[in-house]
Amino acid sequence: MMIQVIDLHKKFGNLEVLKGIDNNISEQEVVCVIGPSGSGKSTFLRCLNKLEDITSGQVIIDGIDISDPNTNINKVRTELGMVFQQFNLFPHMTVMGNITLAPIKELGISKKEAQENGLKMLDKVGLRDKADVYPSALSGGQQQRVAIARALSMNPKIMLFDEPTSALDPELVGEVLAVMKNLANEGMTMVVVTHEMGFAREVGDRVIFMDEGVIVEENTPEEIFSNPQNERTQAFLSKII
Amino acid sequence: METGLNLDWSIAVNALPFLLTGAKLTIIITVVGLLIGFFIGAITGLARTSSNKLFSGISTVYVEIIRGTPILVQALYLYFGVNQLLQHSAGFKIGSTTAGIIAIAINSGAYISEIVRGSIQSIDKGQVEAGRSLGMSSFKTFIYIVWPQALKRMIPPLGNQFIISLKDTSLFAFISVAELTRQGQMSVSATFAAFEIYTFVALLYLCMTMSISLVLRVVERRLDVN
Ligand SMILES: Nc1ncnc2c1ncn2[C@@H]1O[C@H](COP(=O)(O)OP(=O)(O)OP(=O)(O)O)[C@@H](O)[C@H]1O
Ligand SMILES: [Mg+2]
């Protein structure tokens, strides 16, 4: 099991945002998380790499319990790539600088090796020729692809995506989804919070529907989209499809 | 206008070497004071962004006290007040130039502290999350991601502060530091050519402040290439 989530609760002050999440995600699985705004999708994803402190319950990544305060979270995070809605590229560094920073500073590999590896990652996202430009010179879609390459440069076992295409102009969404689809085909374990139902249907192995801090329903994409069981799922899907 | 004032610029020209020794001291006090001030400002500015209540509390008190009192009072306090204590208890005094340097350091430190804090806090927290999610420690994330971006944003307000501090050194004439203003006053009392000499004094200050502006504009442009 790549990810095990056991009775995960998350509170912000008195506001309980996650109210007991249980889930297992296996190696090479692509899980899409859908649900209305404010249902806790991002919070759930961010608990998986402890960008949010875990209030109670357990999150176990590849056998390591990250809810245990003694766990070296930095080490676990090198195995968990994360892609944000707003890209969050480092604006003061070139594309290559963005991609090689963490491998050099955290994994301790040489600059030369990091750059060679960086070029391979840029090949993967189709941006080899952009290595020396600054992020501000790129389109949103290109920036997000660089962000994916940056996460991949750490050679992670799992990739987390939080609405990776929501900040993009519609015509730029496809190029990012294509990169993600390739990753899935290569066997990457992926957790994707998304509003792209087409992507979930085509690439997802499983779809989780969240509402008000709980998993209301989960199933294969075919089942959940054509035959949703819970009425909240039905209501949500009828609104967006 | 027969009874008009006859300006004699040669007096000012003759006084120029004397004025320049003052300008030199002005520059020394400003540069050394600001170097120390930047160090103080960086540390206390950082402390104010930290979650450690003691560090941020001490820094806040420091900033409030310094910002709430005039620099002239701070200089008088150091040179006459603190020196009185020192002489009684330790048998020595701080020299006037040293007092001036300390006053600039402590005073600019408080303002730089605010500049540093504001710049750091203006960096989007997504930057930190990106660094942390790659597995970098909070320290490395700060050093490689937050600080370089914050530094760039600090440059215009820092330039402003450097110019203010340079001009503030003129107040040290009150504690008999032989800086530019004081040298000007002495020349005037020896020659009575107030208009000519103070014109020169003002022009010398203008040269120095414009040099600061120029250097900072170049630095800013360098960084802006990115
Ligand atoms: N740092 C925070 N402090 C306080 N409340 C928060 C914080 N982050 C999220 N919340 C609250 O937690 C709830 C769930 O937020 P979350 O971002 O996980 O929702 P989401 O499902 O990702 O929504 P969206 O589709 O809009 O991104 C919301 O009510 C939100 O206001
Ligand atoms: Mg969200």
- Determine which residue's CA is closest to atom 25 belonging to ligand 1: A37
Judge contact between A58 and A7, C-beta under 8 A.
yes
Ligand 1 proximity of A198 Cβ (cutoff 6 Å): no
**Atom of ligand 1 at shortest range from CA of A193:** 22
Tokens representing residue B215 in the block? 């250097």
Q: Determine if ligand 1 sits within 6 Å of the CB of residue A41.
A: yes
Our CA-based measurement puts residue B39 at a distance from the nearest CA of chain A, in whole angstroms, of: 23
User: Could you tell me if the CB of A187 is within 6 A of ligand 1?
Assistant: no
- Listed residue (A149, A153, A97) closest to B135, CA to CA: A153
Using beta carbons and an 8 Å cutoff, which residues of A are at the interface with B? 49, 51, 74-78, 80-82, 84, 86, 88-93, 101-102, 105-106, 134, 147, 150-151, 154
**Does B161 reside within a domain?**
yes
Decide: A166 in ligand 1 pocket, CB within 6 A.
no
Closest residue by Cα to residue B104 from B132, B79, B71? B71
Residue type, A79: E
Q: From the CA of A72, how many Å to the nearest CA of chain B? A: 10
Asked if residues B115 and B45 have their Cβ atoms less than 8 Å apart, the reply is yes
Ligand 1 atom showing the smallest separation from residue A85 Cα: 27
Q: Which pLDDT score, from 0 to 100, does residue A48 have?
A: 97
Closest by CA position to A143, among listed A83, A225, A207: A83
Residue B204 has pLDDT above 50, yes or no: yes
Average pLDDT, chain A: 96
| Residue to mutate (ligand 1; options A11, A12, A46, A209; most atoms within 8 A of CB) | A12
If you average pLDDT over residues A180-190, what whole number do you get? 97
Q: Is the distance from the beta carbon of residue A10 to the nearest atom of ligand 1 less than 6 Å?
A: no
Considering only CB atoms, which chain B residues are within 8 Å of A93? 226
Q: What is the mean pLDDT of residues B141-150?
A: 96
Q: What are A67-96's pLDDT values in tens digits?
A: 999 999 999 999 999 999 999 999 999 999
* Domain boundaries, position B156: 10-223
Q: Residue holding tokens 């050679």? A: A155
| B97, two tokens | 């130039």
Q: How far is CA B207 from CA A183, B49, B126, B143, B172, in A?
A: 61, 37, 43, 36, 19
Higher per-residue pLDDT: B142 or A241 = B142
In a domain, B63, yes or no: yes
A17: Cβ below 6 Å to ligand 1?
A: yes
Is B172 within a domain?
Answer: yes
The region that residue A167 occupies, defined by phi over 0 for left and psi between -120 and 50 for alpha, beta otherwise, is alpha
**For range B152-170, the mean pLDDT:** 95
Q: Which residue has the higher pLDDT, A235 or A241?
A: A235
> Which residue of B133, B140, B223 is the best one to mutate when testing the A interface, meaning the one whose CB has the most A CBs within 10 A?
B133
Q: How far is CA B88 from CA A64, A223, B73, B77, B94, in A?
A: 65, 89, 21, 16, 13
Q: Which atom of ligand 1 is nearest to the CA of A46?
A: 18
Interchain CB contacts (distance < 8 Å): A and B: 64
Mean pLDDT of B10-28: 96
Question: Environment class of residue B160 by beta-carbon count within 10 Å: exposed (0-12), middle (13-18) or buried (19+)?
Answer: middle
Instruction: Please give the Cα distance from B149 to B153 (Å, whole number).
Output: 7
pLDDT given for residue B224 in this prediction:
72
In a domain, B66, yes or no: yes
Q: What would the mean pLDDT of A28-37 be, rounded to a whole number?
A: 97
Q: Which residues of B touch A90 (CB under 8 A)?
A: 127, 130, 145, 149
> What distance in angstroms lies between residue A140's CA and the mean position of ligand 2's atoms?
18
Distance of CA A190 to the CA centre of its chain: 7
Q: Considering only CA atoms, which of A91, A206, A118, A32 is closest in space to residue B149?
A: A91
> Would you say residue B184 lies in a domain?
yes
Please say if the pLDDT value at position A53 is more than 60: yes
Reported as a pLDDT band with limits 50, 70 and 90, residue B115 is very high
Residue located nearest, by CA, to atom 30 of ligand 1? A38
Give the model confidence (pLDDT) of B34-48 as tens digits. Answer: 999 999 999 999 999
Structural contact between residues A16 and A212, judged by C-beta atoms closer than 8 angstroms: no
pLDDT for the residue A240: 82
Burial class (CB in 10 A: 0-12, 13-18, 19+), A37: exposed
pLDDT at position B1: 47
Domain-located, residue B3: no
DSSP state for residue B82 in the 8-state scheme: I
Q: Total domain count for chain B? A: 1
* Token code pair at residue A107: 């994994």
pLDDT confidence band for B26 (50 / 70 / 90): very high
pLDDT of res. A241: 67
C-alpha torsion B115→B59→B68→B173, nearest 10? -80
Q: What is the DSSP string of A8-72?
A: EEEEETTEEEEEEEEEEE-TT-EEEEE--TTSSHHHHHHHHTTSS---EEEEEETTEETTSTTS-
Read off the CATH number of the domain in which B94 is found.
Answer: 1.10.3720.10
Q: Residue B31: which H helix or E strand, with range?
A: helix B9-49
Q: What is the pLDDT of residue B225?
A: 53
Closest CA to A46 of A227, A193, A197: A193
- The rounded mean pLDDT for chain B is 94
Q: Is the CB of A194 under 6 A from ligand 1?
A: no
Q: Which ligand is nearest to the CA of A51?
A: 1
Q: Counting ligands in written order, which one lies closest to the CA of residue A37? A: 1
Position with higher pLDDT, B216 vs A84? A84
